[in-house]
Structure 1
């Protein structure tokens, strides 16, 4: 045991002897750190202090905090290096603020920017969330400046007491901001008891990107790029910005915070220049009061209701006058035959050869010789529908009940689609509205920020509310369709043989689609952006297609597209619209253009041959046989079309579609949904023009009410498109660039803007357009269907 202890002592002695020189060297080389000498200065506001320091010297400046209720502005600049930065620490009783010089501002796609000149606003002690009596004991603001450099570094310090921190209503403030010199100001609602909100407007001539934030009046204030989005409402701004601040969201006032970003990617999608200084003008103006907003909305709704009620009264009074006129004629006209003596409907449906004229006279019936040869001609579709001249009676051979049922299917399908389409949209937009309030991200939605009124839980109530016109006029059109249908039922026997067979189910579907357009447009305007624009256009697609189907079925009652097929095509159109919004690549545009032009050719053949054209393997054989048949009767017959006028109009329509396709591929903008809607609406306009021209060419006339509807539709569409083109937003751009188009509420009670007027006028324009289709063939009410040509 003793021997073991001795051995251990020897080992320790050897180790100590070996390490002793090393310990001695280390002790001699490790000098104690130089002492730190703080220099305390009882500083004064408004005086610039130019000092130098190194690692052994720290400057401490004490500023009296008495009688300073609005805070102070501190300016510090130095030529310190990034490796040995100057450290600035500002201590208050209940808060601390620190940064370094040079101040490094991160950028996404480049090296950080270094700023040697900095300035910050010191939050007033009144805004710290502690007792007022505690803060009244705070005597000094302490500014400590230090560095870890061995060599001396100079710096400049200036602290200025804020005297114009609060912005008054109607006042504008000019200032310069940069990433290292953010600014913020205060606003108090106390003097604006009547106004429910104010508009904070930011103007600048520079495209330099910045962030504007509205925060609660409390300390600390988030006034750096890395934390400004942590509190309140915020948005990116380049040249123009605006935020409407509801009083109930900030009852104690708010701070307006401005910070310039290190690059312009968020505003212009480009890096921008390295000079990040930006001149800005801020103004705060009282917004419309809640009382005035409700008044403006009520007046607009009252005007809409008054129009509908006046229209209903006018229609009812007209019906009463017509009924009295018919009763007087029945009493005075002794030559009127008894209704029982009139020919039976079957006799009228199948007029005899004596009522027909030759084909050369423009009648669509067969000659007597043809009837003798082909007794079943009237039942053979191929023979009937490929005649040179057709009448509506040739294409109206199905039972009215069957046609009525097929027509009503459009309404049933549309109702089902509307419910299943609208409910998720409403839920999604409610979620969007909550996200806006929770995150404060004003870049999420493309509002017209200079004319958006936050009422009833909506951030932009006026653009949501102005869609009521679609709903009201859709209901009015449905009622007008119902009254017309009831009138036709009173003359059911006559309607079997006279006039155009009506598909009232399509008219009901059109009215319902107009109402749903109002609902979904309102949902879109809860948070308008690139992703949900399809909500605003989907039922416009449906309206355009339904109108074209209605025009075609007017003269082709038996050749009606099934509702399931029609809505299947609409589903494909909406799907293409979605792909265009999500993708919009070069290859997508090529594929879409091919589909567009092929569909145009197919529909051209369908209209030209009146439904007796088939796309199958025997198509080319039939074309060759047709050429052979025409060649036997003369070479010139090969090039002479069977329906010349129809061909000319169809060629014009195809030329317009090719022009649209070329225009779309040339520009290939981001707004594919609007381009697709332009194609559909243009084709609807062309088809309506085709129908009216063909109607006039066949010697038919247009009644005065229809002429009035045509004129009114042109006028309202013209003004509506003017206000639509004068856009106040554009989600094809960045949110900051879109705000360049924002415009104030300068029309209609200072509550609505140009886009709201577009809503009102476009609803009227669609209503008048529907009325054109509803009344276009009223001149044929007393014309037998065998005398009504098909085109």
Structure 2
């Protein structure tokens, strides 16, 4: 198609002439724009004016050495009120360009800052030394002159040293970032930032050595790992995540404090949001030796637990142990899938506010951010398995005695039903599994996983105590598990609705009170209350009545507390109800046992004393409160503490160790508390 080919050059020339006419013609009618190039030096304050007709370019020349990373910081202060037509500053380097307006506007028109300081991303170097240039262009569209000050300086201590504290200040318009290089032999470090000021809210970010560095409130969450902080922030960084063996530590002060828990209106907030902070990078304790657990000798255990079908109580096994094992599998699998999804999301996005860790003692391993908090749950599984073996041995001994027609086994002592004990051992093992799942990413929505089998343990323990004097209760195993499933369902509803709904708390408290009254009648009349309730006009069982009155007063108080206070942590409130009732019933059982002239064996006394000691120590560590998801992530981190055991485990890990021992001891109390009755005629054992 050649007809139009000869006219193309003329047509292009016409377009260029038209553009030149538009640009140059209008330029002739106005003042010619002046561009001034100035040679500049570091650490000198340049004060000048800018209009739409003049533009100033400052040229800084310097030598950059490869072995010495150097940061440059640009400070700009606009002295005139030009909010509607800000000055534009363009910082040009060989490898990158940065630009920002002054006044700097953050979060819409709410916050304006006329004093801006930014640290430049250091250029990469190939040779031992290279000549570098920095050009700062200053221009404006405002016809009236605007006065400003410009200063470019070298950043002292731009590269952080190991275990060396550095104090600095930051604000929304004056973020700070520093470089850290992994020294030889260190594969993991903890970056810790502290401040004596709770507000303004800040963000700690760990970013790879790349340009640009995201160091503003509106982009700091674009890359890397980050978390909000008030007084304390900490992030564990691994060398394997940074191929260059180095990273940037970025600290940004937010323009608002809402995300850190302050509900103050931004319009009434203090305009001076400068914050004094301190940063220190310390090697994370290398505790690989502490992870080298000695393998257990399973020979004895395997021999003790071989061929279970020969001696196993099939009725109890089918209705108790197998049921709770099935529940455990179907409950744990979706829980595991969910928490792994949480952990993956946190790893991919780098957002450190999803999971409430103790960041000062979080040992990442196998893709898990806090492996130590998961490993410390191993005690539940091991001690639960040990309890199963002890129960199994007792079951074998009892079965052999029945086969041999031993008189004590046939006619004396509490009837032996081991099914609930097997269920308790399995529940203790599953508590370790689900507690470990919760600690993969601990937060409000996951806490129900940590408490679900605690409800099971409390319910099964009360059922076991009741079964001792009412052996026919074993036929109602399915009903018992249905009740426990209902408790777990209520806990899920409480997580969803329990925070602010007064209606939910009223309904729950009414159900709590009615259930307490129903169970009181059941315990008082011991399955005969339907016939006795019409004819019993005065109390017959005084001790039982006193216990039930105390128990009901306690339950009414807990119900009233829930309605009045409406605690955010519904799971803990529900768990407190279960534990308080279990403790009351256990106290009542031991009291009635002694009141009826029964004694407690030495083994049971030792178990009781050691259990109380371990529970007391465990609770003291639990109350340290290293984290709390009832506050914002930044406020929760104020309570973080360093590791206290083997430079690997923190206070909450010690709680896991001690509480697992205490729960094992509690189960041993239930197992041995009636050993004194093994030689007492069954007809002479009182029912209470």
TM-score scaled by structure 1?
Answer: 0.78
Residue of structure 2 in register with 1:274 after alignment? 271
Q: Deviations over 1:155-188 (max 9, x none)?
A: 0000002232101001111111111111100000
Match of 1:602 among 487, 510, 518: 518
Task: Please point out which of 317, 337, 344 is paired with 1:427.
Answer: 337
2:649 & 2:507 partners in 1: Cα distance?
41
SS of the aligned residue for 2:448 comes to: helix
TM-align CA RMSD: 2.4
With over 3 angstroms needed to count, the CA separation of the structure-2 counterparts of 1:459 and 1:403, relative to structure 1, is closer
Distance between the aligned counterparts of 2:528 and 2:467, measured in 1?
A: 15
Q: What corresponds to 1:505 in structure 2?
A: 419
5+ residue gaps, structure 1, are 1-27, 317-400, 628-637
Say yes or no: does 1:103 pair with 2:104: yes
Matches within 5 A, 1:328-407: 405-406=315-316
Equivalent residues, number: 642
2:133 is the counterpart of 1:140: yes
Q: 1:560 to 1:610 in 2, by over 3 A?
A: farther
Counterpart CA distance in 2 for 1:445 and 1:451 is: 14
Structure 1 stretch displaced more, 172-181 or 557-566: 557-566
Structure with the larger helix share: 1
Q: How do 1:557-706 and structure 2 match up within 5 A?
A: 557-560=471-474, 562-584=476-498, 585-614=501-530, 623=533, 625-626=534-535, 638=537, 640-706=538-604
| Equivalent residue, structure 2, for 1:36 | 33
- Map Cα deviations across residues 598-648 of structure 1 (whole Å, 9 max, x no partner): 11111100111112234xxxx8xx74x416xxxxxxxxxx3x311111111
Name the residue aligned to 1:169: 162
1:445 aligns with 2:445: no
Alignment partner of 2:325 out of 408, 415, 423: 415
* Larger of the two Rg values belongs to structure: 1
Cα drift, residue 269 of structure 1: 4.2
Selected match of 1:241 from 233, 238, 255: 233
- Give the structure 2 partner of residue 77 of structure 1: 77
Q: Is the 8 A contact 2:161 2:281 kept in 1?
A: yes
Equivalent of residue 377 in structure 2, options 452, 456, 467: 467
Deviations 1:532-569 (A, max 9, x none): 11111001110110001110011001134622211211
CA distance in 2, matches of 1:491, 1:102: 90
What is the CA–CA distance in structure 2 between the aligned matches of 1:82 and 1:138, rounded to whole Å?
A: 37
Q: Does structure 2 retain, via aligned residues, the 8 Å contact 1:184–1:257?
A: yes
Find the aligned partners of 1:659 and 1:143 in 2 and give their Cα distance: 70
Q: Distance in 1 between matches of 2:288 and 2:143?
A: 69
Counterpart residue number, 1:356: none
SS of the aligned residue for 1:763 comes to: helix
Deviates more, 1:150-159 or 1:496-505: 496-505
Which one of 752, 760, 766 corresponds to residue 657 of structure 2? 760
Query: 2:639 aligns to what?
Result: 741
- Give the Cα–Cα distance (whole angstroms) in 2 for the partners of residues 32 and 674 of structure 1: 78
* Equivalent residue number for residue 787 of structure 1: 684
Structure 1 contact 407–503 (Cα < 8 Å) conserved: no
Matched, 1:119 2:33: no
Using the alignment, how far apart are the partners of 1:570 and 1:269 within structure 2? 39
- Residue 218 of structure 1 is matched in structure 2 by 210
Structure 2 counterpart of 1:723: 621
Deviations 1:55-79 (A, max 9, x none): 1111100001323641300000103
Equivalent-residue separation in structure 2 for 1:137 and 1:717 (angstroms):
66
Helix, strand or coil for the counterpart of 1:526?
coil
CA distance in 2, matches of 1:560, 1:67: 81
Does the 8 Å CA contact 1:466/1:760 hold for their aligned counterparts?
Answer: yes
Aligned residues of 1:49 and 1:157 also touching (Cα < 8 A): yes
Distance 2:140 2:216 in 1: 23
- Could you tell me how far 1:770 is from its partner in structure 2? 0.2
1:408–1:504 CA contact under 8 A, matched in 2: no
Aligned mates of 1:724, 1:685 — CA distance in 2? 19
| Aligned counterparts of 1:125 and 1:30: Cα–Cα separation in 2 | 38
Deviations 1:676-724 (A, max 9, x none): 1111011111111111001001000000000000001111111111111
What SS does the corresponding residue of 1:718 show, helix, strand or coil? Answer: helix
Displacement after TM superposition at 1:208 (Å)? 1.0
| Map of 2:290 onto structure 1 | 296
The structural deviation recorded for 1:407 is 6.0
In structure 2, distance between residues paired with 1:118 and 1:490: 85
- How far apart are residue 138 of structure 1 and its match? 5.7
TM-score by length of 2: 0.89
Out of 177, 180, 199, the residue aligned to residue 187 of structure 1 is 180
For each residue in 1:339-375, what CA deviation from the matched residue of structure 2 results, as whole angstroms up to 9, or x when unmatched?
A: xxxxxxxxxxxxxxxxxxxxxxxxxxxxxxxxxxxxx
On the 8 A contact 2:225/2:351 being kept in 1, the answer is yes
Match of 1:360 in 2: none
Q: Which residue of 2 is the match for residue 541 of structure 1?
A: 455
State the match for 2:191 in structure 1. 200
CA contact (8 A) 2:316 2:420 kept: no
Q: Distance in 1 between matches of 2:225 and 2:299?
A: 43
> Separation in 2 of the partners of 1:417 and 1:156?
70
Contact 1:498 1:783 in 2 (8 A): yes
Cα gap change, 1:274/1:662 in structure 2, threshold over 3 Å: closer, same or farther? Answer: farther
Residue matched to 2:14 = none
Per the TM alignment, residue 89 of structure 1 is displaced from its structure 2 partner at its CA by 0.4
